A = this chain, B = another copy of it.
Amino acid sequence: MARGINKVILVGNLGNDPDTKYTQGGMAVTRISLATTSVRKDRDGNTQERTEWHRVVFFGKLGEIAGEYLRKGSQVYVEGSIRYDKYTGQDGVEKYSTDIIADEMQMLGGRGDGGGGGSRGEYRGGGNDRPQRAPARQEAQPRREAPPAKSNDFADDFADDDIPF
């Protein structure tokens, strides 16, 4: 039985345009790099600034919306959970990664340099957006290239069954 709370709340700006790929089952997986900067005063009274870069991942419908509306510089609210992964790199060395699996996002004031659209992205991950075999993704991301017809890099990372929520 599930036990525990694993919740992350971020407000930050994208360091780059989002990267959207598709699983073999047609599910969108969008990744962004999100900066949050904090300050503190050290003992000498100097201001110290530190930026964390969060790797945030959006799945399914939320991945489509994030890919469509977010742009480099966009300010966004993200809610999700932390996921730690361990894998073996191509060099045979064990590596670790940490991702924030988003289940809610909301665009904030600034539009970044994407501009154009006008409409505002927002979505709360519901319960029933598991990939229903070939979503109508043609309509879903007017400004993204068509998803690759067959396999792609994410195929190694995520089977459709791997949706982490």
Contact = CB atoms under 8 A, between A and B. Distances in A.
Interface of A: 1-13, 35-40, 42-43, 49-50, 52-54, 75, 77, 79, 81-84, 93, 95-98, 106, 108-111, 120, 122, 126-130, 160-161, 163-165
Given A83-B52, A126-B126, A2 B108 contact: no
A75 B108 contact: yes
24 contacts: A1-B37, A1-B122, A3-B12, A4-B11, A4-B35, A4-B36, A4-B37, A5-B9, A5-B106, A6-B36, A6-B52, A7-B79, A8-B9, A9-B9, A11-B108, A38-B165, A40-B164, A50-B164, A77-B77, A96-B97, A96-B98, A127-B127, A127-B128, A128-B128
Contacts of A39: 1-2
* Copies, count: 4
A4 B50 CA distance: 11
Nearest to A120: B1
A164 to B, nearest CB: 7
B108 A43 contact: no
